[in-house]
Structure formats: structure tokens, C-alpha cells
Amino acid sequence: MKVHLEVHDIHPVLSFQVSLLDLADITEEGVTFQSPADGKPMLLTPEESIRIQNKIGADIIMALDDVVRTTITGPRMEEAMYRTLRWIDRCIAAHERPDAQNLFGIVQGGVDPILRDICVRGLVERNLPGYAIGGLAGGEDKDSFWRVVAQCTAALPADKPRYVMGVGYPLDIVVCSALGADMYDCVYPTRTARFGTALIPEGVLKLKHNAMASDERPIDSTCTCMVCKKYTRAYLHYLVTKDPMGSQLLSYHNLSYMMRLSQNLHMSIVEGRFPQFVQGFLRIQFPKGDVPKWVCNAMEVAGIDISSCCSPIH
């Protein structure tokens, strides 16, 4: 069972999502899975999940949802969406600290716009403090992914936070932000660090590559993090994937990158130059102008003109 717990900053945000389980038995009662501690079957009900989160005391807590892979089609998807709505009522009923802890509902429905619509309406009726867009970041094609996000952000209340779970790649974050999303979580920056991959404005830098062994430059000359101020690609090449310190240093840089991306994106909105920020971001990532079609489509819906970044062929 993968239980994602994130705590960040001064306001601990705890997300408790049964995300895309490999082995789980899901019934109306709850989710039965193998306990990571002793392998015995454990039942997690909506009530139990809220009870635990009430105890942990996070500022934002998540409903227990019935989530299935977006690649699944058929009645199971519909069942999961309706069950998510039934479970949100059980979560709301079980929540003992609504004054101190904000319960976010999670929109499910796969890539089916009709199911998503029903789910959004159902959650909005419950007038929750915030909404998560779940069930994505699981291997669905990019075109379906952005359309679901766009549909949800259009239908969810404007004055409440919209949290896209499991996103993600820097490009995905820029696109989802353009579409009106507010919050994200993802293992990508640290996980990719453990595999020796650094995040840079151009995309990624694979430090295990032979060329890195004698490269005395920092990971990213525009980055002001501790790792980029102190260490060369050459030294890091010999640490990453082999020594825990390599993972630490690279994770440090990747997280700095994500924070800087987030800060720059934020400021560009505040200062009224978000389209320019997007154009700048895309130009560095796609210097030949080969911006993926799905990004172009999404930006069109988001009302952001990126024609200057796309070469005529694409």
C-alpha cells in the first residue's frame, strides 16, 4: 500500500491517499490491504482514515476516495466515482475537527468527462474547504490529462484551492497552473535525484553520463542553491546513485529547482507577466520550437499565447 504522507513548511499538509494500489480489495466498506508492518490484512474505512488524520492534526486532510487507474475503462470507473461521493459523506460525518482541519474532497472519474462532471458537482454541493483532482499522474495520455484538469478547474469554485495530486513534471505544473490549479505534490524531484537526474531549466541533466565525469561546471549556472554554488558535475557524477550523499545533494538541488520554479511562476502572475513566463519556460525547454501538441492545445484553452515558442512545423 502506498500511503502518501507529505509534511511541508510551517503548515503541515497531510495527504492520506490510497493511491493506485497494486494489491487491494476495495468494497463499499473500505479498502483492505496488506499492512506494511506485519503483512496482515488491514481495513481502512473512510471513518478510520479521517479519525487518524484528526489525530495527526494536519491543517489540510484528504477524504478517502476510491481511485482506479485511468487506463481502466468500463463499469469499475463509474463505480469508483459514485463510491467516492458516498465516501465523502462518511468522511464529513466522521470529521471531528472541521474548525481546525480542512477536509478536501477528491474528484475522480478517470478520463471520462461525464463521470468527472458528476463527481465535481457532487463534491461542490458538499461545500468543502478545498478540492483535489485525483486519479491522474498514472500513465494516461497527456491529451486526456490536461482536458480533465481543464474541465475540473472550470467547474470547481474559483474561491477555493484546487490541488492536482501527483503532479509532477515541471512542464505539467506550468500547464496546470495556466489552467487554474493551485497546489501540487509529487515524488518526481527526489525520486529522479536518486537515479542521478538533475532538474534544470533546459529539462534534465543525467549526471551519470560519461561526459559529466570531467565537466567542472555546476549542475545549473543559473541556480543559486548550495549544491550549485559548491559542487561540480564531475564530483557529483561519482557520487550519485552510489553514495547516499549523492542522493542528498541532488535531491537538495532538485527541490531548490522546484521551489524556484514555483516562486518565479507565482511572481509572474503577481506582476502580470505570466504569459511571458510561460513563453520563457517553453523556449528554454524546447529551443527548436517542438513544443508538444498537448501543451499547445492546453495553452489555447488557458488563453495563453505561445505561438512565438512553436516552430511552424509543429
Partner 1 sequence: MRFVVTKSCGGSSRVRVGSLLAGNPSSLLETPALLLSTKKGLPAFISPDLLATLDSPGPPLLHISPVHFLDGPSPSIISSIGGLHQMLALQSFVLVASPRDSIDSLPESIGANKLGAAFETPSGRRLVKPSDYMDMISSLKADLWASLADEVPAWVSEKRNRASVDRTLRWLDDCIALDKTGGENIFGAIVGGTSVKERQRCATEVVKRNVPGP
Q: Which residues bind partner 1 (CB under 8 A)?
A: 213-214, 216, 226, 229-232, 234-235, 237-239, 242-245, 248-249, 252
Residue closer to partner 1 (CB basis): 249 or 278: 249
Phi, psi dihedrals of residue 279, rounded to the nearest 5°: -60, -45
Cell match 513563453: residue?
279
Residue closer to partner 1 (CB basis): 69 or 208: 208
Cα angle: 139, vertex 306, 170; to 5 degrees: 40
Residue closer to partner 1 (CB basis): 252 or 294: 252
Q: Please report how close the Cβ of residue 170 comes to partner 1 at its closest, in angstroms.
A: 24
Q: Please report how close the Cβ of residue 172 comes to partner 1 at its closest, in angstroms.
A: 29
Q: Please report how close the Cβ of residue 245 comes to partner 1 at its closest, in angstroms.
A: 5
Q: Please report how close the Cβ of residue 208 comes to partner 1 at its closest, in angstroms.
A: 12
Cα angle: 93, vertex 156, 158; to 5 degrees: 110
For the beta sheet containing 25-26, the strands, ordered from the edge strand earlier in sequence to the opposite edge, are 25-26, 31-34, 41-44
Residue closer to partner 1 (CB basis): 130 or 189: 189
Q: Please report how close the Cβ of residue 197 comes to partner 1 at its closest, in angstroms.
A: 19
* Residues 6+ away with beta carbon under 8 Å from 43: 29, 30, 31, 32
Determine contact, residues 236/249, Cβ cutoff 8 Å. yes
Of 64, 277, 70, 93, nearest in space to 170 by CA: 277
Cα separation of 138 and 136, whole Å? 5
Q: Please report how close the Cβ of residue 221 comes to partner 1 at its closest, in angstroms.
A: 16
Residue closer to partner 1 (CB basis): 86 or 230: 230
Residue closer to partner 1 (CB basis): 43 or 245: 245
